[in-house]
Amino acid sequence: NRTATPAQVSSALTTAATPNVVGNPGSGSPNRLLYVGGGTTDPDPDPGPPPGGRFENTDDYQIWDFLTAESPVTVSGVAGNAPATLQVPVGIVHTYIGDLQIQLIAPDGTAYTLKSYGTGGSSDNINTTYTVNASSEAANGTWKLRVSDNAWWDIGRIDSWALQF
């Protein structure tokens, strides 16, 4: 539950734990065994893809000095609007990421700024997931990742990006 507070997480873990089963718990221990799920015999179960669908573009798009690059992703088969917590994993190879502005462009042309110019300073490369409230947007259609470079000397590429509904 991504919206839970730390206190809510603590309460949920404590409530779900089994009390008084830890052998020799030691003084000060809450003597609770953490509940971790449905009893699978697989020591490393693969939960599979997250619900809602993932749409990705792994083609490289060059980011040139003082220009803008756009990489499209077409979403289809998703009912209704995009979620309020649309996940946008982004992989960009570029030195001095402070030169870059990154925007998610919705199918209707609305721009959502994920990263502004100047943030990140002289760091290299971006490998992060942004969260966007895109709940006013129809999910289906062509979305774009728009990356603009506002300085000389550092070029790069959009390596990959995705939308996780």
What one-character-per-residue DSSP string does 28-82 give? T---EEPP-SS--S-SS----SPTT-EEEE-S-EEE-TT-EEEEEEEE-S--SBP
pLDDT at 77: 92
pLDDT at 49: 46
Categorize the per-residue pLDDT at 14 as very low, low, confident or very high, splitting at 50, 70 and 90: confident
* pTM to 2 decimal places: 0.69
Question: What gap in Å lies between CA 64 and CA 151, rounded to an integer?
Answer: 9
| Mean pLDDT for the chain overall | 87
| Residue corresponding to tokens 């809510």 | 8
| Residue corresponding to tokens 């774009």 | 144
Q: What average pLDDT does the segment 83-107 reach?
A: 96
Categorize the per-residue pLDDT at 111 as very low, low, confident or very high, splitting at 50, 70 and 90: very high
Residues of the chain with CATH 2.60.120.260: 54-164
pLDDT tens, position by position, 131-163: 999 999 999 999 999 999 999 888 899 999 999
- Which of 160, 150, 157, 156 has its CA nearest to residue 67? 150
Domain 54-164: CATH class, spelled out? mainly beta
Residue 39 has pLDDT above 70, yes or no: no
Of 13-27, 32-46, 77-91, 110-124, minimum mean pLDDT range = 32-46
